[in-house]
Amino acid sequence: MSSRLPLAFVAALALAGCNQASADKDPAQTDSDSNPNYKQAQQDLDNNNPQAAATDYEAALQANSKLAGAHYELGVIYGDKLNDPIASIYHFKQFLALSPNTDKKDQVQALIDKEGQDFSASLPNNKPQITQADMDKLTADNAALKKQVDDANNTIAQLQDKLKHHEEVAAASTDTTAPAATSATTDAPAAPAAPAGPLKALPVDQAEAAKGTADTETTATATNGAPSAGARSYTVVKGDSYWKIAKKMYPGDTKNGVAKIQDANKQTVGKPLKIGQVLVIP
């Protein structure tokens, strides 16, 4: 009786050790080989399909929530492939909770810290602070841009001044040449037009009305149809004779004046003068 007791005690200790060894087994391997979703997730990763792999690993965890390996793989997939740092941190922490003695502990903790930093930096109020070097660079860039703007403004001002100067020169040139052209056209004596037919005497009343302007010097056409350079015209009024006309037109040289008038109006010589008749006065 006493000899059996030690044997039973030893057997009990051995059984307890086996149970403890089973309990210390890495949960990452617990039922993973027999879980079809776990196997499918690994195939999805091999086929570079991280979204399908994440779905299959989640399904594997629903069948067995103690698959630490599935949590680890999901932490990697959500962090590196699907850009979901919150989900990545959750699964990494689940992995450490199921496998506290894993040799990946430090590595997983580092991944948790990294995902936390990435998530914090993505928040609107947690943007990286600008360093002094960044401020110096921004200041230098701003100064360079300001100088470029100032140079451009100076160039524009110079071009505007040149354009204004050219416009003033062109305007001055127009002002000086225009009067000359006008003068050239107005100062030139107009060529007298030859009468279409013989001159007609004006009625007496019209001749009397024109008496006040008869002495005005105008450009005239000789009665013979040939214009005389520098000639004047005279309209005969009541009581006129060659002598009276010469006395008016050539005071102090009446005799020669008569000869000049008669010579310039050969067609009328020997004929009586008529009121309204126009004579050429050389």
* pLDDT more than 70, % of the chain: 66
Asked if 275 and 237 touch (Cβ cutoff 8 Å), the reply is yes
> Could you tell me which of 111, 47, 105 has the C-alpha nearest to residue 78?
111
Last residue of a domain, one of 106, 126, 146: 126
Last residue of a domain, one of 126, 161, 196: 126
Residues 112 and 22 in one domain: yes
- Radius of gyration (Cα) for the chain, nearest Å? 64
Residue 12 pLDDT > 50, yes or no? no
Sign for the CA dihedral angle at 242, 243, 247, 250 comes to positive
In whole angstroms, give the CA distance from residue 225 to residue 198. Answer: 9
| φ, ψ (nearest 5 deg) of residue 279 | -105, 150
Q: Which domain holds residue 18?
A: 10-126
pLDDT of residue 34: 79
CA 202 to the chain's CA centroid: 77
Which residue(s) pair with 281 in the sheet? 232
pTM: 0.38
pLDDT of residue 29: 52
pLDDT of 177-214, one tens digit each? 555 444 444 454 554 554 554 544 445 444 444 444 44
Residues 121 and 229 in one domain: no
Parallel, antiparallel, or unpaired: how do β-strands 232-235 and 278-281 relate? antiparallel
> Could you tell me which of 194, 204, 282 has the C-alpha nearest to residue 239?
204
pLDDT (mean) for 32-37: 80
pLDDT of 64-122, one tens digit each? 988 999 999 999 999 998 989 999 999 999 999 999 999 999 999 999 999 898 888 87
What CATH number does residue 105 fall under? 1.25.40.10
Asked if 254 and 247 touch (Cβ cutoff 8 Å), the reply is yes
pLDDT of 142-175, one tens digit each? 889 988 998 999 999 999 989 988 888 888 776 6
Q: Number of folded domains in the chain?
A: 2
CB within 8 Å of 271: residues ≥ 6 apart:
none
* pLDDT more than 90, % of the chain: 26
pLDDT of residue 98: 93
pLDDT of residue 5: 45
